[in-house]
Amino acid sequence: MHPLLDAAHPNTVGSSLYESDHVACAWEQIELAAERGEGFGVVHDHWCFAGLVMADRVHPEVVHTVHGPLDRKPAPF
């Protein structure tokens, strides 16, 4: 397990600014691990849509957990 944050920030969950930064930090750690020859077997994604749309751009398998219903606006995505 590789935590990316020093502390949780529950009031910013869903904010595109924070979500994008969090995803970028995660992808950076995946790339750095690969450069060291370590790699990841699985990435467990809780990053809302930002992580999901980038999942096909990394080599480890990505498991995406959906927190909430996929109806109305999110359904087509």
- Encode the chain (77 residues) as per-residue pLDDT tens digits: 667 777 777 787 767 777 777 778 888 888 888 899 987 888 887 766 666 777 777 777 888 887 777 677 766 66
Whole-angstrom Cα distance, residue 54 to residue 19?
A: 12
- DSSP secondary structure letter of residue 9: -
pTM for the whole thing?
0.61
